Amino acid sequence: MLLALQGAISQGILWGIMVLGVYITYRLLDIADLTIDGSFALGGCTCAVMVVGLGLNPWLALLVGAAVGVAAGAVTGILHTVFDIPAILAGILTQIGLWSINLRIMGKSNTPLLQVDTVFTQVAKLTGMSQPVATMVIGLLFAAACIGGLYWFFGTEIGAALRATGNNENMVRALGINTGTTKMIALMLSNGLIGLAGALICQSQKYADIGMGTGAIIIGLAAIVIGEVLGRLAPGKLTSFGSRLTSAVVGSAVYFLIRAIVLQMGLDANDMKLFSAIIVALALAVPVAIERTQQRRMYAKGGEA
């Protein structure tokens, strides 16, 4: 039981890198980017082929996974900003195209990594740590590096312009900033992180599968919402930008922990997608219902006065 929970937390931290990518488009840019499912699998499939087929160093394969994710984000960005295709439709088009591309890259539906070294096995051998502990340590290091890098980037002029684009696109355009460029950068950065996460998950689970990205958007949204709820419940309400980035990764770990506990309690694994969808729906609907109830009470008190 404890080993299963430790593994769930480790996986949650690795998936947290993907959640950071979702956070950029969903929360900062206010775009529902559905490229995610395809770019996550693209990062994993490319990494697997690089390590197994070409014998590339697994650390370099992670960079390749991130690079192809950036390319996928660029395709969506071009469709949206250059050809004025709605963001959600541009993401769907890229995602559909990536299914065939991923299948073409691997040449089959899945690629095992059982006979090759990964970053996790290398660290485990080098340090003497067990595989689960090595996975958690590497996940924490990568997550911390990504959070630190994003915190720095969004403090720069272009990063601030990107955040402003999500808040008020018309105002940003009036200030002379090219919103097409900021959207393109955001989509590339987001999918780069997602491709990196796909490569890490591929090496962690020791295989890449054509459908490994299916439902990634639901996991990302669930983790973001859980992290935000935990941030509001924390003492002092963690509202700083760095805290919100951290809460996204924490939300991912909590989501996978909840999922592991539910599975241990006997839930059919085939029902996990439904379970995830219910969590997201409740987490999004409950705050709205509470806010509306509070508003009605305020109006009622005003009427009595």
Report the C-alpha gap between 295 and 288 in whole angstroms: 11
pTM, to two decimals: 0.93
Radius of gyration of the chain (CA): 20
In a domain, 266, yes or no: no
Q: pLDDT tens digits, residue range 69-91?
A: 999 999 999 999 999 999 999 99
Report the C-alpha gap between 132 and 204 in whole angstroms: 9
In a domain, 231, yes or no: no
Q: Give pLDDT, residue 305.
A: 47
In a domain, 61, yes or no: yes
Q: Give pLDDT, residue 282.
A: 81
Mean pLDDT (the chain, rounded):
91
Q: pLDDT tens digits, residue range 234-275?
A: 765 666 889 999 999 999 999 999 888 888 888 787 888 788
In a domain, 282, yes or no: no
In a domain, 19, yes or no: yes
In a domain, 153, yes or no: yes
Q: pLDDT tens digits, residue range 83-122?
A: 999 999 999 999 999 999 999 999 999 999 999 999 999 9
Given 3-state DSSP classes, what are the helix, strand and coil percentages for the chain, each rounded to the nearest 5? Answer: 80, 0, 20
In a domain, 167, yes or no: yes
Among residues 24, 69, 14, the alpha carbon closest in space to that of 47 is found at 69
Q: How big is the chain, counted in residues? A: 305
Q: Give pLDDT, residue 237.
A: 60
In a domain, 160, yes or no: yes
> How many domains does the chain divide into?
1
Instruction: Return the number of other C-beta atoms located less than 10 Å from residue 278's C-beta.
Output: 12
Domain span holding position 75? 2-213
Q: Which of 36-40, 136-140, 281-285 shows the lowest per-residue confidence on average (mean pLDDT)?
A: 281-285
Q: Are 37 and 218 in contact (CB under 8 A)?
A: no
What is the token pair recorded at 54?
């070409």
